[in-house]
Chain A
């Protein structure tokens, strides 16, 4: 009986090990996707800023961030002590909320871009972002974290654009890409940390990860 109980326990531990291994693989793939999107964004951003024209295309240009509800992207900004202390679930949830809003925002940007090449690049980028969002939701399910669900796709993060040469609309577009950049930088570090926390948890069974 004891032997049987030990064997069942062993199988459960092995199942857990396999699950954790799957999660680590999943995090690794999400991390690689983040790096790929960061690389894509560098090219799109340069083209988009040229498309917006001066002063947006000037290297040191930095307009004030509009404090409007239409740019309601949760900020990636954080202090290192707060960032380190985030629980796995909270870390993933923050990423999910941010990319839900950003996906809508970039879709809107693509829709209102008049340059066909840029529009196609932005739409391709959106499919990558959508994949990232799906990956994050999958991770949250695997770790047993409640997901918010995606933001309603019918509500655009940007208000309707009457004309492309409206300066305010250009500033909004500028800021969407800047927020996206910050989030991709942050996410790469978030997934690196998640990978390491899961490894630590697996190696030191029962000990709270660092």
Chain B
């Protein structure tokens, strides 16, 4: 009786020990998974685990790449981007490596202009070469006053946007605003500081609502409206030029500048088709002219 109970207790203990006390030495460790960023053109050594275990091999997309604990990649290119896996001699999966290729940021090429003078200016920037890797930007600006210069954040929709809006502007300043655009990604960062005089970078958007009507005596009456993005055309007057093109746009003549919102051109050729565009500029000639408005086409009757 005693022996039977003892044997039965041993079996239960063994069963439970199997249930709750797993022997980890028989189960393989979970594979490591990591991502690394590599600059295109550089060389890199990628050890598997401790980099010393013999018989391991590196695979990419399931195919064997190199046998050995260390993967050497020389003069890397974009094609080296991918998922690399490292396997033990018995085929066990030791490590997964996501390799991301790209470039460290270079100082952004920044351009600023003011389509909404005097209230707003816009700065946009590009990166050459394109970093490929996800890159975010920090955009700030300040005006170096003698009393406490304030650093403003240049407003953007998101950190990835490559354009921002400046709103706290100092007009008629002799000392420029300083715009600081910093690009950051996994491979590093780069900064550009651009000095700008707001009055120098005026560039209105093109005029809108361009209408052309035929008048008696082979005349064309052209009218337009200031761009809605220009906040104060009363105090910050614009002047306008009107371009007439014909002969499949090979010949053009530009008339103006006009401070009014319309003009009349006479002496036009019957039967000819004219393409008319209008551009705007600050009345003092500061900054740049706007782009030409979308062309309006009209053909004069032959009679």
- Asked if B284 and A188 sit within 8 Å, CB to CB, the answer is yes
Q: How far is the CA of A152 from the CA of B281 in the complex (A)?
A: 39
The answer to whether the Cβ of B47 comes within 8 Å of any Cβ in the partner chain is no
1/0 contact trace for A61-79 toward B, CB 8 Å? 0100101000000011111
Which A153-209 residues have a C-beta within 8 angstroms of B? Answer: 175, 178-179, 181-183, 185-186, 188-189, 192-193, 196
The answer to whether the Cβ of A28 comes within 8 Å of any Cβ in the partner chain is no
Q: How far is the CA of A39 from the CA of B237 in the complex (A)?
A: 17
* Pick from A35, A78, A178, A188: contact of B174, CB under 8 Å: A178
1/0 contact trace for B62-89 toward A, CB 8 Å? 0000000000000000000000000000
The answer to whether the Cβ of A80 comes within 8 Å of any Cβ in the partner chain is yes
What range describes how many residues of A lie at the interface? 20 to 34
Q: How far is the CA of A75 from the CA of B175 in the complex (A)?
A: 10
Q: Which residues on A sit within 8 Å (CB–CB) of B171?
A: 77-80, 83, 186
Q: How far is the CA of A175 from the CA of B173 in the complex (A)?
A: 12
Q: Which residues on B sit within 8 Å (CB–CB) of A192?
A: 235, 237, 283
* Pick from A67, A78, A178: contact of B170, CB under 8 Å: A78
- Asked if A62 and B172 sit within 8 Å, CB to CB, the answer is no
Q: From known contacts A77-B170, A78-B171, A79-B169, infer whether A62 and B176 are also in contact, taking CB-CB under 8 Å.
A: yes
Residue of A nearest to B143 (CB): A77
Q: Which residues on A sit within 8 Å (CB–CB) of B176?
A: 62
Mostly helix, strand, loop or mixed at chain A's interface?
helix
Residue among A76, A80, A185, A188 facing the most chain B CB atoms (10 A cut-off):
A80
- Asked if A189 and B173 sit within 8 Å, CB to CB, the answer is no
Q: How far is the CA of A196 from the CA of B232 in the complex (A)?
A: 13
Q: Which residues on A sit within 8 Å (CB–CB) of B195?
A: 62
Q: How far is the CA of A40 from the CA of B184 in the complex (A)?
A: 46
Residue of A nearest to B145 (CB): A77
Q: Shortest Cβ distance from A38 into chain B, in angstroms?
A: 6
- Asked if A185 and B286 sit within 8 Å, CB to CB, the answer is yes
The answer to whether the Cβ of B107 comes within 8 Å of any Cβ in the partner chain is no
Q: How far is the CA of A79 from the CA of B199 in the complex (A)?
A: 12
Q: Which residues on B sit within 8 Å (CB–CB) of A189?
A: 235-236
Q: Which residues on B sit within 8 Å (CB–CB) of A175?
A: 174
Q: How far is the CA of A38 from the CA of B176 in the complex (A)?
A: 20
* Pick from B119, B146, B174: contact of A76, CB under 8 Å: B174
Q: How far is the CA of A38 from the CA of B286 in the complex (A)?
A: 10
Which A27-86 residues have a C-beta within 8 angstroms of B? Answer: 35, 38, 62, 65, 67, 75-80, 83-84
* Pick from A67, A80, A182, A188: contact of B118, CB under 8 Å: A80
Q: Shortest Cβ distance from A95 into chain B, in angstroms?
A: 12
Q: Shortest Cβ distance from A32 into chain B, in angstroms?
A: 12
Q: Which residues on A sit within 8 Å (CB–CB) of B172?
A: 76-78, 182-183, 185-186
Residue of A nearest to B170 (CB): A77
Q: Shortest Cβ distance from A76 into chain B, in angstroms?
A: 4
Q: How far is the CA of A178 from the CA of B170 in the complex (A)?
A: 16
- Asked if A75 and B284 sit within 8 Å, CB to CB, the answer is no
Q: How far is the CA of A78 from the CA of B234 in the complex (A)?
A: 19
Which A7-42 residues have a C-beta within 8 angstroms of B? Answer: 35, 38
Q: Which residues on A sit within 8 Å (CB–CB) of B170?
A: 77-79
Which B44-73 residues have a C-beta within 8 angstroms of A? Answer: none
* Pick from B118, B174, B199, B236: contact of A179, CB under 8 Å: B174
Q: How far is the CA of A76 from the CA of B118 in the complex (A)?
A: 14
Q: Shortest Cβ distance from B260 into chain A, in angstroms?
A: 15
1/0 contact trace for B282-295 toward A, CB 8 Å? 01101000000000
Q: From known contacts A77-B173, A175-B174, infer whether A35 and B235 are also in contact, taking CB-CB under 8 Å.
A: no
Q: Which residues on A sit within 8 Å (CB–CB) of B283?
A: 188, 192
Q: Shortest Cβ distance from B107 into chain A, in angstroms?
A: 15
Q: From known contacts A35-B284, A38-B284, A80-B119, infer whether A196 and B234 are also in contact, taking CB-CB under 8 Å.
A: yes
14 A/B residue pairs, CB under 8 Å, sorted by A: A62-B195, A67-B146, A75-B173, A75-B174, A76-B174, A77-B172, A78-B170, A179-B174, A182-B174, A188-B283, A192-B235, A192-B283, A193-B235, A196-B235
Q: List the 10 shortest-distance A-B pairs measured between CB atoms, nearest first.
A: A76-B172, A186-B172, A77-B173, A80-B118, A182-B172, A178-B174, A182-B174, A77-B170, A188-B284, A193-B235
Task: Beyond A76-B172, A185-B172, list 19 extra A-B contacts (CB 8 Å).
Answer: A38-B284, A62-B176, A65-B174, A76-B173, A76-B174, A77-B170, A78-B170, A78-B171, A79-B170, A80-B169, A181-B174, A182-B172, A182-B174, A183-B172, A185-B286, A188-B283, A189-B235, A192-B235, A192-B237
Name A's B-contacting residues (CB within 8 A).
Answer: 35, 38, 62, 65, 67, 75-80, 83-84, 175, 178-179, 181-183, 185-186, 188-189, 192-193, 196
